[in-house]
A and B are shown apart, each in its own frame.
Chain A
């Protein structure tokens, strides 16, 4: 309790109090101690403060301008015909438990996919189903090549890099 008693005045002394709160009462205001005191609030921040505002803060190191979000979700038609007032969307029922798994974005994911696409492009080039750039990105040419190749090999024709497509091309994904 002693620590708590002295911590608040020292916060004030250190200039941590907001401008209009100079006369902040030290005693808790009779709510049975349920309200967090200033000490409690700022105590949580210690780890952050000691880290020198750099290690934790993903905000400041990758801060975004974030001024406009790219427009409204119900925009009036671009050709400025009389604005169509969209009906309010039907309420979407709350998510039934269990909540969906968050998407794990491992740092190497994008590179791994690019690597696979590169291998697929190389194999398709070798088999004569692709003659575009070897750049590791999917394109209409790649999709068309996959459709032909899957059809010729009696695979399920999807135009996508399916597991059986990888097997047919002799590529091991892991």
Chain B
């Protein structure tokens, strides 16, 4: 697993954001180092020393060549640097808050009450990101801090016109007045990932643990559409909502034809997803007809439909084209049986924390 936290020591007192530059193997020393860069000075087998305007930073346990270009958030008193943006990754996500107004039965990152405002640091981080990055914003529920979020997007998108955002939100908190603010943003560069689990409001509300959530998300999806937002609908497939997947497909094609993508997602075994695994995990390798009917229906109606986090061998061959490799690099793993698989390079594999007894009835080398 790729480490997201690095062990460091620094003489600084306050936390700060800095971009690490190792720049080895260059014909000349690095030119135009910004005040937000720290350049590699020395390295031995144990630690590397980076120096910059913020002082010196000792990095332990990882070779500096692996963090070249990474934007890190340094917390001196914890002797920790968080890799906010890894230069060679497509899966960078900023955690806006840990608060949430929903309590989903399979939440991978159960919410907490405390909130630390990280927006000033995130602004700096985005300005330092590699060219043409897509940056994820997640939580918790990012729109609980809606005005700060809009301001953050307005500022960073103006300064970095090459950057796209992918924002995960339950869409519970948009109001009609927000349309103007949304339209001020370049909405072609933002993809809003919004979860809808069922076309039956009772089931949806039960899964997200909030009465009235379905009606709210339905009306706010309209609002996002009116503003011209790009929407990725996200449906985690589980025992409670799998039987209604075809009905959901009908709902999506009839009521939400304006969405960009519909992502049907396999469950992640962490957080509440782990706790409730046995009552939630739906084995698509045996019950794929539920999925294929919904998939056939929505695709035939012109909805770009995808399967996220499905190991390819659990999906019938005809449907594998709809299952891109979606598990983020830093939490992707394969099981022993995968060694000889011809599809390994195209397959997203498993989440690192998936149980060794993977739960798929039909599984194996393809």
User: Which A residues lie at the B interface, using CB under 8 A?
Assistant: 15-21, 35-36, 38, 41-42, 44-45, 48, 53, 57-74, 85-86, 88-92, 94-96, 99-105, 110, 112-113, 116-117, 120, 137-141, 143-144, 147, 157-163, 166, 172-174
- Alpha-carbon distance between A143 and B42 when the two chains are bound, in angstroms: 9
User: Are B223's CB and A67's CB within 8 A?
Assistant: no
B136 touches A18 (CB 8 A): no
Which residue of A has the minimal Cβ distance to B129? A102
Contacts of B37 in A (CB 8 A): 100
Instruction: Contact check, B116 vs A86: say whether CB atoms are below 8 A apart.
Output: yes
A71/B131 contact (C-beta < 8 A), A92-B121, A138-B65 known: no
State how many angstroms separate the Cβ of B110 from the closest Cβ of chain A. 10
Across-interface contacts of B17 in A (CB, < 8 A): 92
In the assembled complex, which residues on chain B have CB atoms less than 8 Å from the CB atom of A144? 44-45
Q: Can you show 5 pairs from A to B with CB atoms below 8 A apart?
A: A41-B183, A45-B228, A67-B109, A96-B35, A103-B130
With A58-B134, A70-B331 already in contact, the answer to whether A158 and B42 are too (CB < 8 A) is: yes
Nearest chain A CB to B149 CB, angstrom units:
15
Residues of B contacting A120 with CB < 8 Å?
Answer: 25
Complex Cα distance, B227 from A101, in Å, reads 32
Name the contact of A143 in the complex, choosing from B45, B73, B98 (C-beta under 8 A). Answer: B45
- Taking A63-B306, A137-B63 as known contacts, 19 extra A-B pairs with beta carbons closer than 8 A to each other, sorted by chain A number, are A21-B222, A41-B187, A41-B227, A63-B324, A63-B326, A65-B265, A65-B327, A66-B93, A66-B136, A67-B268, A68-B108, A68-B109, A85-B114, A90-B15, A101-B32, A103-B130, A105-B131, A143-B43, A143-B45
Which of B162-170, B289-297, B357-365 faces chain A?
Answer: B162-170
Contact with A along B125-139 (1 / 0, CB 8 A): 001111110101010
